[in-house]
Amino acid sequence: MKREEVLAAAQALITRDRAESYGDAQENFARIAAIWTAILDTYIRPEQVALMMAGLKIARLAHDSSSSDGWLDGVGYLALGAEMVVKE
């Protein structure tokens, strides 16, 4: 898969497929952050959820780097996290 294809596929996942299944990413990550905050007794921000989920994908890819799903999801999580914090 070429990098342009990876980016396009990741974009499709986070703007259509996942958005339809889970709703707005910022709201979904805020819900996840609230749950993780309660479990860990440490404040978790929505963009940290994106980092943790990307980290999960990286850990899985370290075991088996042939998973295109892992690469696409990792790119998608990082893009969503950047969107939450990078203001240009």
Q: Give tens-digit pLDDT for 54-87.
A: 999 999 999 999 988 899 999 999 999 999 999 8
Q: Give tens-digit pLDDT for 7-50.
A: 999 998 888 877 778 888 999 999 999 999 999 999 999 999 99
Closest to 69 (Cα-Cα) out of 57, 84, 51: 57
